[in-house]
Structure 1
Amino acid sequence: MPEAMITLFGIEALHTIEGFLASYTYEFFWVVFIGIYFAYLGGGLIASEIEDRKMDLTLSNPVSRESVILQKVGALWAPLLILNLGFLAIVFIGTFLIGESIEIIPVLMVHLLSIPYLLACAGIGLVFSVFMRDVSSAQAGAVGVVFILWLIEGIVQMDPDFEWMAYLSPVHYYDVADILIRGEYAFVGAGILTFLFIALLAVSIVWFIKRDI
């Protein structure tokens, strides 16, 4: 395949089950679609309730605005847990049914290290959610930004002059191929993504406290 496609989609070692899972299953489904899904969820956390006026009722009670955001974000544990456990089961059962074997630890690390990445995607959505009243615009903006950042991370690596732009993308700090194929666990990258999520959460809280709904 063209070098551009190999770089963009992380295609390598397709003769192994680890390479197949990294390039097709995780790179396409988990990194792109699940990342977009969490950006979509984040985009609706606050804007949806502002749009349908539920937020007025919520804030009429003795609750702080920061607690509202923290509780909304805290509720993301449910899709995080369900998706991770469900997809883990699919991977292990699927590899068994086709007669392949795969090491358990690298697959578990793929999912564990994906949590900061998915939270960062949700954080991007949350920022859009507190800045916009229209939930559809917030969700579309968040999805668009996450998708564009994924494209940027793959495309700029083909040109050394723009390679620095890859550091702006959350995907740069979560490489499935490194984990599954090479057994390299980017704990520093996970830490950066966690810091990014906390920063996005802090910005969202500060703006939501100040804004007029």
Structure 2
Amino acid sequence: MENRTTYVDHASSSVLETNKVLRNTYSLLAMTLAFSAAVAGITGAMNLPAPHWIVFLVGAYGLMFLVHKTANSSAGILSCFAFTGFMGYTLGPMLSMVVAAGASDLIVLALGGTALTFFGLSAYVLTTKKDMSFLGGMMMAGFVVLIVAVIANLFLQIPAVSLAISAMFILFSSGAILMQTSAIIHGGERNYILATISLYVSIYNIFVSLLQLLMAFAGGDD
């Protein structure tokens, strides 16, 4: 009887902890997305230049490293906003270019598509409670293929390959959302700051890749 009571208490505690991580993750994700969008809007309005790719890599990976180092302290929240703010800054020039080309409707379509993808995938995992850890091997293989494709296209500069990379980023990021959400509800992720960053990066990649695909199909790359 005592063992049964202990098991019930442990299960109840686990559910409460999962719900807390989910609540904190989605709350912080909503705030960082809003902050990132605000920074992107300000950057675009001020016509600030796009950062050099070296600055982008150093800034993005440097701030992501900082998030991981401070994730277990209150400073992790500040690091989270610093990272998402920087990523918002990198979006500003791209969005300005799209608006200047008279294709602002594509931004709305990309936003809508990204939102539907995120909420659809999240709802699927939260509803079915499926363990998506089996995707780990495929995700690793996909990551390697993506890196090789990106490096190769730096030299080849083939439009078709660029489109294929964008599509692959959407698929890869969708898998990452499934895995991250599953990790939260199955107890594999208990740090809501790290969970937020993982989901944010996936949403960012889906939005940018979807926007690039829409621009290409609409003739925006001509």
Q: Output the TM-score relative to the length of structure 2.
A: 0.37
Q: Output the TM-score relative to the length of structure 1.
A: 0.38
Q: Looking at both structures, which has the greater relative contact order when contacts are Cα pairs under 8 Å and sequence separation is at least 6?
A: 1
Which structure: greater helix fraction?
Answer: 2
